[in-house]
Amino acid sequence: MAQRPIAPAFDPRMHEALHRLDLRIVRRLEGLLHGEHLGLRVGPGSEPAEARPYQPGEDDVRLMDWSVTARTTEPHVRDLVADRELESWTLLDLSASMDFGTFGEHKREVAVGAMAAVTVLTQRVGDRFGAHFLHRGRIRRWPARSGKAALVSLLSTVAAAPEGGTADARGASLADALDDLARTRTRRGLRVVVSDFLDTPPEADSAESPAPWERAMRSLATRHQVLAVEVVDPRELDLPDIGLVTMQDPESGRTREVRLTPRVRRDYEQAARRQRSAVQAALRRCGVPHLRLRTDRDWVVDIARFVVEQRRTAHRLSRHTPAIPR
């Protein structure tokens, strides 16, 4: 059952830490991710769209494009794209597996940083933002708001969520959280899903054997712009040569002693590679952009590079897309 998280008490140290995180994101991403967005249809606005021949008696002469008119010797006007307020929602996976990390930062810290990067830049252009959290098998909701105070409250709420703990086997899964987000937030906008997607079996690499969350993700993507952020730790991809170790499943709490022989390490690496490929294939089938962040890399730089490449791709597509005749 979905529950709304209780806001934590004010902590000056937490507020200062969140302020430093805000500065880190804004200083390094501003100018690359300054969050401007376009509407889906033509209307009053300030963003120029396609130029077309002037229709006497129908078009406003104030929209005359004099540069095109001079080049073609025929009167042209330029349509404007309406600016629409967006409402962005982030689904943040805070399950026990996100508390793992071996290279300075835990996956949870990188995931919160990714959510903060999107939210910081969203609130700077006045859009509303909200969040759903998958925590210990329960879906918790944080209402959509705007402004700096709301951002600090959101990040404080996430930071106050206790780590560890095992979820009930009957608790909500990532697929349930995606369905809940699609059902309760119907207004079109941006949806960001931040998870490690570890419940994806390695064999889920085709439409005949989909990932457990694939149907829900595809349903969400049919109505909204969706970005999937996968958070990975290097030790989930390969194991060190350290002999006998005790491993624990963070979701169930079960432990097992394993001797990391060369064969075990090789089999593990191959299974991990197949699982990551299965996640990538499932997201591609859903038509969702996929950003992979690692705990041993600078996630701010990776986000910036990803968005710059996405914008370049969108620009190339727009240049080769023919204008719709009027």
Beta strands in 233-306 (DSSP E): 243-248, 255-260, 290-294
CB 122 within 8 A of CB 191: no
Q: What CA–CA distance (Å, rounded) separates 22 from 147?
A: 13
247-300, pLDDT tens digit by residue? 888 777 789 899 999 999 999 999 999 999 999 999 999 999 999 999 998 888
CA 259 to chain centre: 37
DSSP alpha helix (H) spans, 103-256: 107-124, 148-160, 174-184, 214-221
The top-level CATH class assigned to 12-32+86-319 is alpha beta
In tens, the pLDDT along 157-180 reads 888 888 766 666 678 999 999 999
Domain with CATH 3.40.50.410 in the chain: 12-32+86-319
Which residues are CB-neighbours of 59 under 8 A, at least 6 positions away?
77
Helices 148-160 and 12-29 pack at an angle, to 10 degrees, of 120
pLDDT digits (tens, 9 = 90+) for 102-123: 887 889 989 988 998 888 766 6
Q: How far is CA 151 from CA 113, 184, 229, 310, in A?
A: 12, 21, 20, 25
Q: What is the end-to-end Cα distance of the chain in Å, rounded? A: 50
